[in-house]
A and B are shown apart, each in its own frame.
Chain A
Amino acid sequence: MASGDTLLTFTPQANESPASNAATFDTRNSRVCLDFDADADEEAVFSGVMPQSYADTTGVTVILTMGSSTDQTSGTVAWELLFERIINDSTDLDADSFATSAAGNRFTQTAPGGASQPAIDSKTIAKGAVMDSVVAGDPFRLKIRRDADGTSQTDSMTGDAELYSIEIRET
């Protein structure tokens, strides 16, 4: 893929809810979204296979479409975008092995500019360790976690963050 081309998209219905601390399915004007709490860290997990067209030149760019359940227009949401590569004859399927949260896979998304509006923002994730070395053809999971208690970044938007879509592009 050329830089900027779309590799995969996920909608909320593709979320494989973790057994605990799961983001909550919700709807807004019949649009399906995932609500991430403002106080407790919550997660959503998406499975995919990295397309063979992924060039793995510099990595990927993840674009999130986010809303605010209470129409906040200030503050930030702290996200962690954690890849987990599934390796043949190696990965323990009974355990999680997501990439460690680090500056390279964290980002803060600013609240939408106006009430009832979405914020669409991107995070570049470099190839290699911060995306768990996922390459073309690898099955993988992507965990999206709101660091609501601000352990590693500033999370200051009150109310739920609504996640509407995820796009993964070739950087």
Chain B
Amino acid sequence: MAFTFDGADDSIVYSTSTDFLQVGDLSWFWQQFIPPSVKTSNLIMTMEGGTGEDEVENSVLFLDILGANNSWDIRYIHEFSTGTNEANTFLTNITNSTWVNLGLTRNITANTVKLWMDGSLIDTFNYTNDPAVGATTTVPLRIGLRGDGTFDGEHSIANIALWGSAIPDNVMLSLTKGFSPLFYPHGLILYDKLIRDSLDVIGGKVGAITGAAVMEQPSLIYPALSQVITGTAAVVSGRIMSSLARDGGLAGRGGIAGRGGGLAG
């Protein structure tokens, strides 16, 4: 059951951590649902030191929803210097009340940010300046609401994941087709299904939830174990059958076809 943000004060906040101070390569995956009534400029997520313009308050990753009714877009921002934005609006044209799988990668060597949706690359943003946050060493991860109470999110979200690397294009393409982030554990920092509660199954982080509305989200495909065909089972099975046949079982002395009173005995 995904979490629904009411556009007022609902949020999920993960405590400050060095894990969220990602000024380098990163990747972010999430499932998103946007209702018809969504407000503009409402927050999906942010990792930032504060909401002012000092360098220590910069956002290393900020995503919100823009666009128009029934054609919603995703805006990407990171900041450098004294709060200067590198920003791009990805034209996702998300329709109302439809779940989509979204993925974003940032590569600071190539100076690119890519956004995928449901198995397709939406666009590549070529930026100039890498994120920078001055002396800050830890920041929180906030979903649905900025730290100062602005950018009130009005949408639903599930299955969030954060990697400290730009995962390969074909992998993100797979994930946005509906595969679990657990299929790519390399550099995976946080994975929280956000199903009724908030518990990161990778790093053990727990999000503090304000507001508790939930709704169903689409399923993902999860990893499976190999299947072992054991010889023991076959041997035991053979012994049982042998015993049954010998001592009163299916074809034995007292069984279905045996000599001692079985159905056909």
- Could you tell me if B228 and A51 are in contact, using CB atoms closer than 8 angstroms? yes
> How far, in whole Å, are A27 and B234 apart by their CA atoms in the complex?
33
- Could you tell me if B228 and A24 are in contact, using CB atoms closer than 8 angstroms? no
- Could you tell me if B232 and A53 are in contact, using CB atoms closer than 8 angstroms? yes
A22 to chain B, nearest CB (A): 6
> How far, in whole Å, are A37 and B173 apart by their CA atoms in the complex?
14
The chain B residue with its CB closest to the CB of A50 is B228
The chain A residue with its CB closest to the CB of B119 is A26
- Could you tell me if B186 and A8 are in contact, using CB atoms closer than 8 angstroms? no
| Interfacial chain B residues near A5, Cβ < 8 Å | 229, 231, 234
- Could you tell me if A8 and B229 are in contact, using CB atoms closer than 8 angstroms? yes
A57 contacts partner chain B, Cβ-Cβ < 8 Å: no
Tally A residues with Cβ within 8 Å of B: 28
- Could you tell me if B177 and A26 are in contact, using CB atoms closer than 8 angstroms? yes
Sorting the interface of chain B by its residue count into under 10, 10 to 19, 20 to 34 or 35 or more gives: 20 to 34
The chain B residue with its CB closest to the CB of A10 is B226
Instruction: State which of B205-213, B217-225, B246-254 sits at the interface with chain A.
Output: B217-225
Instruction: State which of A13-21, A95-103, A126-134 sits at the interface with chain B.
Output: A13-21
**Which one of A15, A20, A37, A51 lies within 8 Å of B230 (CB-CB)?**
A51
> How far, in whole Å, are A11 and B184 apart by their CA atoms in the complex?
16
B222 to chain A, nearest CB (A): 7
A122 contacts partner chain B, Cβ-Cβ < 8 Å: no
- Could you tell me if B178 and A27 are in contact, using CB atoms closer than 8 angstroms? yes
- Could you tell me if A25 and B177 are in contact, using CB atoms closer than 8 angstroms? yes
A113 contacts partner chain B, Cβ-Cβ < 8 Å: no
- Could you tell me if A49 and B177 are in contact, using CB atoms closer than 8 angstroms? no
B241 contacts partner chain A, Cβ-Cβ < 8 Å: no
B16 contacts partner chain A, Cβ-Cβ < 8 Å: no
B264 contacts partner chain A, Cβ-Cβ < 8 Å: no
| Interfacial chain A residues near B229, Cβ < 8 Å | 5-9, 51
B128 contacts partner chain A, Cβ-Cβ < 8 Å: no
Among A13, A15, A32, A46, which residue has the most Cβ atoms of chain B within 10 A? A13
Given A26-B177, A32-B221, verify A17-B226 contact (CB < 8 Å): no
B85 contacts partner chain A, Cβ-Cβ < 8 Å: no
- Could you tell me if A9 and B227 are in contact, using CB atoms closer than 8 angstroms? yes
> How far, in whole Å, are A134 and B44 apart by their CA atoms in the complex?
49
**Which one of B168, B175, B225 lies within 8 Å of A14 (CB-CB)?**
B225
Among B170, B177, B223, B225, which residue has the most Cβ atoms of chain A within 10 A? B170
- Could you tell me if B230 and A17 are in contact, using CB atoms closer than 8 angstroms? no
| Interfacial chain B residues near A20, Cβ < 8 Å | 168
B174 contacts partner chain A, Cβ-Cβ < 8 Å: yes
| Interfacial chain B residues near A14, Cβ < 8 Å | 223-226
| Interfacial chain A residues near B227, Cβ < 8 Å | 8-11
> How far, in whole Å, are A44 and B224 apart by their CA atoms in the complex?
14
Given A25-B177, A27-B177, A51-B230, verify A13-B221 contact (CB < 8 Å): yes
Complex A-B, nearest 3 residue pairs according to Cβ-Cβ distance, in ascending order: A53-B231, A13-B224, A25-B174
Binding site for A on B (CB under 8 A): 168, 170-171, 173-175, 177-179, 183-184, 186, 221-232, 234
Binding site for B on A (CB under 8 A): 1, 5-11, 13-15, 17, 19-20, 22, 24-27, 32, 37, 46-49, 51-53
**Given pairs A8-B229, A53-B232, 12 additional interface contacts (CB within 8 A):** A8-B228, A11-B224, A13-B221, A14-B226, A19-B186, A22-B168, A22-B170, A25-B174, A25-B221, A32-B221, A47-B226, A53-B234
9 A-B residue pairs with CB within 8 Å: A1-B231, A9-B226, A10-B226, A14-B226, A20-B168, A24-B174, A27-B221, A47-B226, A52-B230
